């Protein structure tokens, strides 16, 4: 082995919420874990859109458990608390968790350190080297040049699935028409008088938005302004500026959308100050470093979760996390923002582990927003709490695969589910959340 080659049990590609879950879970199982993250932070979309609430953590108002619950509790128990549960102001969404972005990120770094994860930031996984149906190595690069990781198991948590796609996993882009959800750039307004700003119940500030669009001061896609209270008093999180038709796996397109988004955010901040009561003394802060990309590749797994599965409230024998998120569609093609209920009131579905495994590559799993799902199911399964728990499941499965010298496709999934339940993931197997 040269200095630019390393052996490891598990290579996690991407340090978003899914990669965080995968790396911590595998590290806690005593495995050597290398986590390669292309940017300088963990969190993925959570880092790109700082302050975005963790939605979907409470199907039927019960926490899903696992690492999400542990992380939330660590933050809630700080003095002063750095996270809290609150009601979401949008219809069909359950309660959400709002947190201090910097403290949450720091705590995630600490949990990775405690789990013994070798974190390679500012490093990109480029391509797999295949040996039959296995990934023998993954070529990576950082500013010092190329390096190669030789893992026993690869967990692709990159959101876009570059390594899975290059290892031969079939995929489609976006929905059946190939159209992907809009990307979004967020910011905060700081110094807002909450009482006046939120005096009216409309979460979309529709009448102000209509005025701004009619007067050509806001982009037409800003007909709904989604403004919500931030974690700290007097802050408002603006998750409103969407850019359509961006191919999230084309870095140049993402960079162009980010610059366009910055312009629209600035216009919106100026408009809020000028027109909306409570914002007169506020200023823009925490503008996203890049747009948050919702949807790119959809990988083909052993099982593909569908909208019908959700509507039936399916609870699979290999379900690894519960969910009741609505079908949260954001400006696909010429479409609008919709969040229709995915399941009947008071019920939920589970995400099967088989949607995290490819049919043929024996030492690969994929989790987070790249799991195998149709366009409807995708719009629901993609919440950060669910992504984190999918990662937790994959990290746990890596231990099982190594212990049994087994292909991922041959794992005892009942044992996996039992292990996750022991780790405090709720509502799996024969148990129920309610």
Ligand X SMILES: Cc1cc2nc3c(=O)[nH]c(=O)nc-3n(C[C@H](O)[C@H](O)[C@H](O)COP(=O)(O)OP(=O)(O)OC[C@H]3O[C@@H](n4cnc5c(N)ncnc54)[C@H](O)[C@@H]3O)c2cc1C
Nearer to ligand X, 75 or 125 (CB): 125
Residue 66 interacts with ligand X (CB under 6 A): yes or no:
no
CA distance 96 to 57: 6
Residue 38 interacts with ligand X (CB under 6 A): yes or no:
yes
Give the contact letters, 208-237, x = binds to ligand X (CB under 6 A), - = no. ------------------------------
CA angle 42, 91, 389 (to 5 degrees): 30
With a CB cutoff of 8 Å and minimum separation 6, the contacts of 251 are none
Nearer to ligand X, 146 or 193 (CB): 146
Q: Which stretch binds ligand X (CB under 6 A): 251-259, 267-275, 286-294, 305-313?
A: 286-294
The count of chain residues that interact with ligand X, using the rule CB under 6 A, is: 37
Residue 54 interacts with ligand X (CB under 6 A): yes or no:
yes
Sequence-ordered strand ranges (E) for 247-326 = 283-285, 297-299, 319-323
Strand-pair category, 283-285 with 183-190: antiparallel
CA distance 130 to 166: 10
Chosen residue from 29, 134, 188, 294 binding ligand X by CB under 6 A:
294
Local structure of residue 63 (DSSP, 8 states): -
Nearer to ligand X, 271 or 366 (CB): 366
β-bridge mates for residue 155, sequence order: 12, 365
Separation in Å, CA 118 to CA 21, 32, 124, 162, 394 = 14, 8, 15, 21, 17
| Cα end-to-end span (Å), the chain | 52
Q: Which stretch binds ligand X (CB under 6 A): 47-55, 257-265, 348-356, 418-426?
A: 47-55
Closest residue to ligand X, judged by C-beta, is 368
Residue 287 interacts with ligand X (CB under 6 A): yes or no:
no
DSSP string, 331-354: --TT--EEEE-SS-TT--EEEEGG
Q: Is 8 left (phi over 0), alpha (psi -120 to 50) or beta?
A: beta
Nearer to ligand X, 23 or 411 (CB): 23
With a CB cutoff of 8 Å and minimum separation 6, the contacts of 335 are 329
Chosen residue from 53, 261, 352, 358 binding ligand X by CB under 6 A:
53
Residue 49 interacts with ligand X (CB under 6 A): yes or no:
yes
Residue 46 interacts with ligand X (CB under 6 A): yes or no:
yes
Longest dimension (CA), the chain: 65
Strand-pair category, 327-330 with 364-366: unpaired
Please identify which residue in the block is written with the tokens 């049990």: 9
Residue 268 interacts with ligand X (CB under 6 A): yes or no:
no
Nearer to ligand X, 41 or 273 (CB): 41
Q: Output the smallest distance, CB 244 to ligand X, in A.
A: 13
Residues in region 354-383 near ligand X by CB under 6 A: 368-369, 382-383
Q: Which stretch binds ligand X (CB under 6 A): 131-139, 158-166, 190-198, 338-346?
A: 158-166
With a CB cutoff of 8 Å and minimum separation 6, the contacts of 317 are 352, 413, 414, 417, 429
CA distance 130 to 357: 17
Q: Are 120 and 35 in contact (CB under 8 A)?
A: yes
Nearer to ligand X, 37 or 100 (CB): 37
Residue 293 interacts with ligand X (CB under 6 A): yes or no:
yes
Q: Which stretch binds ligand X (CB under 6 A): 153-161, 229-237, 393-401, 413-421?
A: 153-161
Q: Output the smallest distance, CB 420 to ligand X, in A.
A: 18
Residue 59 interacts with ligand X (CB under 6 A): yes or no:
no
Nearer to ligand X, 34 or 189 (CB): 34
Strand-pair category, 319-323 with 349-352: antiparallel
Nearer to ligand X, 92 or 211 (CB): 92
Residue 44 interacts with ligand X (CB under 6 A): yes or no:
yes
Residue 392 interacts with ligand X (CB under 6 A): yes or no:
no
Residue ranges binding ligand X (CB under 6 A): 13-19, 36-39, 44-46, 49, 52-56, 124-125, 157-160, 162, 184, 292-294, 368-369, 382-384, 387
């Amino acid at each position: 082995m040269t200095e630019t080659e390393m052996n490891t049990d598990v290579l996690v590609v991407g340090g978003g919420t899914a990669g965080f879950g995968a790396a911590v879970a595998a590290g806690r199982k005593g495995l050597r874990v290398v986590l390669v993250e292309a940017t300088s932070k963990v969190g993925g979309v959570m880092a790109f859109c700082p302050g975005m609430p963790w939605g979907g953590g409470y199907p039927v108002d019960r926490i899903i458990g696992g690492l999400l619950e542990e992380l939330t509790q660590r933050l809630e128990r700080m003095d002063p608390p750095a996270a809290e549960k609150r009601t979401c102001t949008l219809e069909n969404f359950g309660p959400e968790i709002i947190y201090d972005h910097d403290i949450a990120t720091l705590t995630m770094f600490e949990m990775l350190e405690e789990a013994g994860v070798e974190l390679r930031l500012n490093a990109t996984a480029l391509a797999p080297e295949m040996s039959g149906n296995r990934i023998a190595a993954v070529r990576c690069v950082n500013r010092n040049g190329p390096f190669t990781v030789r893992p026993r198991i690869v967990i692709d948590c990159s959101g876009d699935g570059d390594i899975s796609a290059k290892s031969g996993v079939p995929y489609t882009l976006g929905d059946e028409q190939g159209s992907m959800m809009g990307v979004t750039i967020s910011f905060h307004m700081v110094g807002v008088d909450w009482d006046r700003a939120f005096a009216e119940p409309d979460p979309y500030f529709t009448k102000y938005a209509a005025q701004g669009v009619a007067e050509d001061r806001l982009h037409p896609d800003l007909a709904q302004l989604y403004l919500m209270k931030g974690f700290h008093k007097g802050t408002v999180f603006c998750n409103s500026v969407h850019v359509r038709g961006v191919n999230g796996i084309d870095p140049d397109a993402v960079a162009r959308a980010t610059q366009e988004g910055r312009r629209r955010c600035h216009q919106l901040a100026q408009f809020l100050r000028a027109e909306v009561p409570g914002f007169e003394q506020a200023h823009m802060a925490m503008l996203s470093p890049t747009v948050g990309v919702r949807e790119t590749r959809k990988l083909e797994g052993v099982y593909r979760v569908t909208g019908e599965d959700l509507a039936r409230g399916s609870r699979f024998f290999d379900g690894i996390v519960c969910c009741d998120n609505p079908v949260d569609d954001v400006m696909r093609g010429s479409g609008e923002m919709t969040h229709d209920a995915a399941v009947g009131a008071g019920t939920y579905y589970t995400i099967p582990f088989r949607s995290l495994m490819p049919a043929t590559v024996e030492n690969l799993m994929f989790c987070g927003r790249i799991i195998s799902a149709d366009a409807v199911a995708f719009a629901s399964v993609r919440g950060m709490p669910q992504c984190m728990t999918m990662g937790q499941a994959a990290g746990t499965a890596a231990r099982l695969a190594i212990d049994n010298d087994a292909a991922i496709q041959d794992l005892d999934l009942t044992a996996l589910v039992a292990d996750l339940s022991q780790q405090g993931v709720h509502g799996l197997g024969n148990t129920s959340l309610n």
